[in-house]
Structure 1
Amino acid sequence: MSIERRIAHSGFTLTRDYPVPVARVWQAFSDGEEKRGWLGDTDTFERGEWRFDFRVGGRDVDEARFHGGPLSRYEAVYTDIVEHVRIVTTYDMWLDSIHMSTSVASFEFEEISEGTRLTHVEHGMFFDQFWADGPDREEGTRGLLEALGEHLRG
């Protein structure tokens, strides 16, 4: 079976306000154990490789199988970090060892009177049979930002 070779671009911006100080939201991103907690480290995941190296040039790896489904692998490189201000990464995703996408993502942290405004901007390139997955990525990211909110409330 031949795979049609194509690429699709998808971008989105998501903004969330959290009723906690910027330093608290920052900690949820910059502390490996804490980040692993809100990213979905539950009994519904069969965990694979995990690496966390929060520094410019550092690499993160998060591999897991959700509910016995396909193996998902995330590999990121931090390209810019300004404490309590922004995080920028490039990252690649694989599904069952097939490279599905490459993305550039930023997280901006802004102090507001109610706490913290987090703005996430992402641009992804989706390859071959995954060319239509852009909306799914946005929806998945929405879920992660909701999980972060739950974590910060907990």
Structure 2
Amino acid sequence: MTVKHATFTLERVYPVSPDRVFAAWSDAATKAGWFTVPGGGHSLDFRVGGREVTTGPPDDGKGMVFDARYEDIAENERIVYSGTLSANDVLATVSVTTVLLEAEDDGTRLTLIEQGTFLDGHEEPSWREQGTGTWLDNLGKVFSAV
């Protein structure tokens, strides 16, 4: 039985206003497009106390489930959520994530800070950081496709 604790910070600058970035997080269809894997499931109740549940494809054998609860939302400025990641009903991580949106020149600087507890080697901090960076890059593609 092992426990690792890790915190990481990722930043991205997007060429759109903070309200557009916020909308990409708060709209269920838009978020599913950049946050989920092909064939995975997604539900979003974007409000304080609301939940977001993301699952991997049912046929991948991993049984991945990310279950988040929105703790704080300041429209166009800040999103804070707590979440768990499980694989085949085994808890892998518990985390708290803060997303900050700041207007910068003609765009938005997004700063994401995640504090995680990684249990029994089921996930490594570097894997989470890499995966989170990938979906922030996918978010950027939403704005370049417009």
Verify: 1:34 aligned to 2:30, yes or no: yes
Separation in structure 2 between the aligned mates of residue 67 and residue 40 of structure 1, nearest angstrom: 15
- Taking the TM superposition and a 5 Å limit, the aligned residue runs for 1:55-94 are 55-65=47-57, 68-94=60-86
Verify: 1:12 aligned to 2:4, yes or no: no
1:46 to 30, 39, 50: 39
Match of 2:124 in 1: 133
Q: Which has the larger radius of gyration?
A: 1
Following superposition, the deviation at residue 66 of structure 1 comes to 8.4
- The code of the aligned residue for 1:57 comes to G
Match of 2:106 in 1: 114
Separation in structure 2 between the aligned mates of residue 66 and residue 21 of structure 1, nearest angstrom: 36
Verify: 1:98 aligned to 2:90, yes or no: yes
Separation in structure 2 between the aligned mates of residue 97 and residue 65 of structure 1, nearest angstrom: 15
Q: Which ranges of structure 1 fall in alignment gaps of 5 or more residues?
A: none
Structure 2 length normalisation: TM-score? Answer: 0.93
- After the TM superposition, list the runs of 4 or more consecutive aligned residues in structure 1 that deviate by more than 6 angstroms: none
Match of 1:153 in 2: 144
Structure 1 length normalisation: TM-score? Answer: 0.88
The C-alpha deviation readout for 1:30-82, integer Å capped at 9, x for no partner, is 101110011145xxx3324x321100000111111388351210000000000
Separation in structure 2 between the aligned mates of residue 18 and residue 11 of structure 1, nearest angstrom: 23
Residue 84 of structure 1 aligns to a residue in which SS?
Answer: coil
Report the count of equivalent residues.
145
Q: Which ranges of structure 2 fall in alignment gaps of 5 or more residues?
A: none
Separation in structure 2 between the aligned mates of residue 67 and residue 9 of structure 1, nearest angstrom: 31
Following superposition, the deviation at residue 118 of structure 1 comes to 0.2
Q: Which moved more, 1:95-104 or 1:62-71?
A: 62-71
Separation in structure 2 between the aligned mates of residue 56 and residue 79 of structure 1, nearest angstrom: 5
Q: Is the 8 A contact 2:36 2:54 kept in 1?
A: no
Distance 1:91 1:66, change over 3 A: same
Give me the CA root mean square deviation: 1.6
